[in-house]
Amino acid sequence: MSIFDKAKDVAGKAKDMVDDQVEKHSDKIPDKLEKAYDKASDAAEKVIPGKDGEPSESEKLIKGD
């Protein structure tokens, strides 16, 4: 496993923790901020895979899937 794979795993875990907290406290977060977070999270999901372990969009392109 390369250093970049390790970094991506750590970033994915951190993203998952933030996603869980946002979901847990979504009733306290203003709608405008939650929508902005969702948009940023969706963009990040293309680069950093989440819990589901599916390959990112960039990995799919590299592998030709």
Nearest alpha-carbon partner for 49 in 18, 17, 8, 20: 8
32 or 5: which leads in pLDDT: 32
pLDDT in tens, 14-49: 888 888 888 888 788 888 988 888 888 888 877 776
- The yes-or-no verdict on residue 58 having pLDDT over 80 is no
Q: Is 55 helix (H, G, I), strand (E, B) or coil?
A: coil
The conformation of residue 28, written as its DSSP 8-state character, comes to G
pLDDT, position 61: 59
pTM here?
0.54
User: What pLDDT is attached to residue 42?
Assistant: 82
Q: Where are the domains of the chain?
A: 3-48+56-63
**Tokens in use for 30?**
């203003």
